[in-house]
Structure 1
Amino acid sequence: MFSVIVPVYRNAEFVPQLIAEFSGISAIAAERYGMPVEVVFVVDASPDDSYELLERALPQAPFRSQLLLHARNFGAFAAIRTGLRAARGDYFAVINADLQEPPELLLQFLDRLVRDDMDIAVGVREGRDDPGMSRLAANLFWAFYRRFVVKEIPSGGVDVFGCNRRIRDELLRLEEANSSLVGLVYWLGFRRCEVPFQRRARAHGKSTWTLAKKVTYFMDSVFAFTDLPIRVFTVLGALGVVLAACLGVFVFVMRLTGQIAAAGYTTTILVITFFGALNTLGLGLLGSYAWRSYENTKKRPLALVRSACFFDGASGPVSLYTGRRS
C-alpha cells in the first residue's frame, strides 16, 4: 500500500480539490502498480473548518484514508511525523494540502521507490509560479540553508519527499524536538534521488509559511545540524582578544612616549561596550543549545492526537478513537 501524508492547516478551500486529485492518483496507482492508496490527513488544530469538511467528504471518497486531529497546533513537521506514524503502507510520501506541488509528483516518487533502487525520493523545484517577492525570499532562505546548514539540499529547497518503510521507521526513531524533518531526511543518508517539478501558483488564500516561521525553522536547523554559531562566536572571541592586545600595546607605547596624558574615555567605553555585547551574544548562543538539549531530555511527545478516524474507501468510518500520542 502507498500512504500519502497531508498536513492540513487553514486549507478548507482546498478540500474538494484534494479529494478529486487523490481519487485520480488512487485510480492510477491501482492500475499501474496494483497498489491501493491510503491518504492520511493530519489537521494541525486548524482554526477553520478543514476538519469538518474532510470528515464529511472522506466517507464518500474512493480511496482509503485516515483523518487525525491534533490536540493543539504543533506545527507542520509534527503533523507529518504524526501521519508517518499512523500510516500503514509499504511506501510513503508527503505533500502539502495547498497543492502547489503537483499531485502527479506522488506517482513519480512511487515509481522510483517500487524499483527498489532508491530509499528516498525528494521533490526538487525547477521553478516557482509565485509572486516575485515570495520567490526572492524563498531563494534567499534556501541559499542560506544550503550554505550554512545542509550543503546537499538542492538550490530550490525541499518540501516534499517519498520513502520506503525502512526510512519511515528510522525517521520516527529520531524524536528530536525543535529540529528539521528535511534536515533529518538528509542526515539519514541511504540511497536518494531527486525528482524535478514545477511549483504551481497557490489557488486560494495566503501561505501560512510566514517570515517568522522561516526564521524559526532556519534557527532550529542551524542549532540542530551545525556548530556554526559556536565557531562564529569562537572566531569573534579570538579576533576580540587580538584587537584588545593590539590596542593595549598601542596605548602602552603612546603612554610611554608621552603622547597620551590620560586614558581615553571614548576608547574605554567602546571597548567595554564591544566585549559586553560579545559576551551577551555568546550567552544567547550557548543558552539556545542548552535549552534545546533540555527540551529533548524531557521526552515529551512531539504531538498529541485528539481524535482519529479511519475510512475504508467509500464505506464509512471504520473506527474512531482518542488520546493518541505521536
Structure 2
Amino acid sequence: MIPVYKNEGSIVLLLGALDELAGTLDAPLEAVFVVDGSPDASFARLEEGLRDVGFRSRLILLSRNFGAFAAIRCGLSEASGDYIGVMAADLQEPPSLMREFFAALTSKPLDVVFGQRLGRHDPGLSKAASNIFWAVYRRLVQPDVPEGGVDVFALTSAFRDRLVAMGEANSSLLGLLFWLGGRREFIGYTRLEREHGKSAWTLKKKVTYLLDSVFAFSDLPVRVLMFAGIVGLAVAALLALIVVGARIFGTYEVPGYAGSMLAILFFGALNTFGIGIVGNYAWRAYENTKQRPLNVVSLRIDFAGKEP
C-alpha cells in the first residue's frame, strides 16, 4: 500500500522497483496506490505506468487531500492480501524492506513489523528537526516508538482489521498501531537520500500531527495545567499571608500596584491557556461524534498486470 502526494517525479522509478520486488517474492504482489488529492500529474503517470507492470494493482483517487494517514488507512482497507505492507512513494525507504517484512510475518508468530531508522541521508537541519520531533513524540505520546521514528510497516490482515475498525478523526495512525500492542518486531534500515521533488511533510504538518497525537493519547496537558493551578494557588496563599502579616504589623500602608497587576496578568494567562487545552480536547471529541468518513474515494481502477 503506497500513499501518493506530489510524487510524479519518482513514479517511474517506483514502478520499476515494485516490478523488481514482485519477482523476488514467494507469493503474488498486489500494490494499492492511494493518490491523496495530489495537485501534480501523479495520478496520470500511475494510470499510464500500471498498464505495463507485471503485478496486480489498484489505483485509488481521493476527492481531495485528506492527509497521509487518512490515505494510508484507505489503502489498508482496500488491500486484499493476508499480509499488507506500507511504503513511501519517494523511495527513501528501501523497497527491499517489504521483502524482509513479509519474510518475518510469514516465518514468525507476529502481528506487525516496523522499519526502524538506524541512519538517514537527509540534510543536517532536516535530520535535527526529525530527531527533535521523534524525541518529543516518544516522551509525550508513545515511549515504545524507536528513537529514529517509524515511517514504514507491515501487518497481518487480522491486525489490519482491528486497526481500521477504530475510525478516530484527528488521531495518529502510528499511535493506534502501538496502542493496539500485538506481537511486533523491528527491522533496521538506513533512510536513503531523496532524489525527486520536495517532501510534503512540512513543519506545519509535523506540529499538527504531534498535537493530534498528544491530545489523542495523553492527558499530560491537563495534568500540567492542574499542576500549574496548584502551584498558583500555593503562591497566592503565600502572598496572601505575607500581605495580611504586613498589614497587621503596619509594614505598609498602601498595597503595591505592580504586584497586583503581575498577579492578574499571570492568572489571566493561565486561565486562557487552560481554556485552550480543554478546548482542544472538546473539539476533537466533537469531531469524532460527527462520524464523517475519513476519506472519500472519487475513482478506483484495477489493473491485472501483464503476463510474464
TM-score bin (small chain): over 0.9
Q: Partner residue of 1:182? A: 174
Higher strand share: 1
Distance 1:106 1:260 in 2: 76
Distance 1:58 1:116 in 2: 32
Q: Partner residue of 1:242? A: 234
Deviation at 1:253, TM superposition (A): 1.1
User: After the TM superposition, which residues 9-20 of structure 1 pair with which residues of structure 2 at under 5 Å, given as runs?
Assistant: 9-20=5-16
Larger mean CA deviation between 13-22 and 114-123 belongs to 114-123
Q: Partner residue of 1:71? A: 63
Q: Partner residue of 1:37? A: 29
Q: Is 2:119 the partner of 1:127?
A: yes
Q: Could you tell me which of 238, 249, 254 is aligned with 2:246? A: 254
Q: Partner residue of 1:322? A: none
> 1:286-326, CA deviations, whole angstroms, 9 ceiling, x for partnerless residues?
010001001001100000000000001127xxxxxxxxxxx
Q: Partner residue of 2:24? A: 28
User: After the TM superposition, which residues 66-215 of structure 1 pair with which residues of structure 2 at under 5 Å, given as runs?
Assistant: 66-215=58-207
Secondary structure of the 2:24 match is helix
Distance 1:96 1:264 in 2: 62
Gaps of 5+ in 1: 316-326
Q: Is 2:224 the partner of 1:228?
A: no
Distance 1:72 1:138 in 2: 27
Per the normalisation by structure 2, the TM-score is: 0.98
Per the normalisation by structure 1, the TM-score is: 0.93
- Matched AA of 2:94: P
Distance 1:301 1:314 in 2: 34
Deviation at 1:263, TM superposition (A): 1.1
**Quick check: 1:63–1:314 contact (8 Å CA) kept in 2?**
yes
Gaps of 5+ in 2: none
Distance 2:179 2:150 in 1: 14
Distance 1:194 1:116 in 2: 13
Secondary structure of the 2:6 match is coil
Q: Partner residue of 2:3? A: 7
Distance 1:152 1:260 in 2: 57
Q: Partner residue of 1:309? A: 301
Report which structure shows greater RCO (CA 8 Å, sep ≥6): 2
Secondary structure of the 2:269 match is helix
Across the aligned residues of Structure 1 and Structure 2, the Cα RMSD in angstroms comes to 0.8
**Quick check: 1:58–1:314 contact (8 Å CA) kept in 2?**
no
Secondary structure of the 2:61 match is strand
Give runs of ≥4 in structure 1 deviating > 4 Å: none
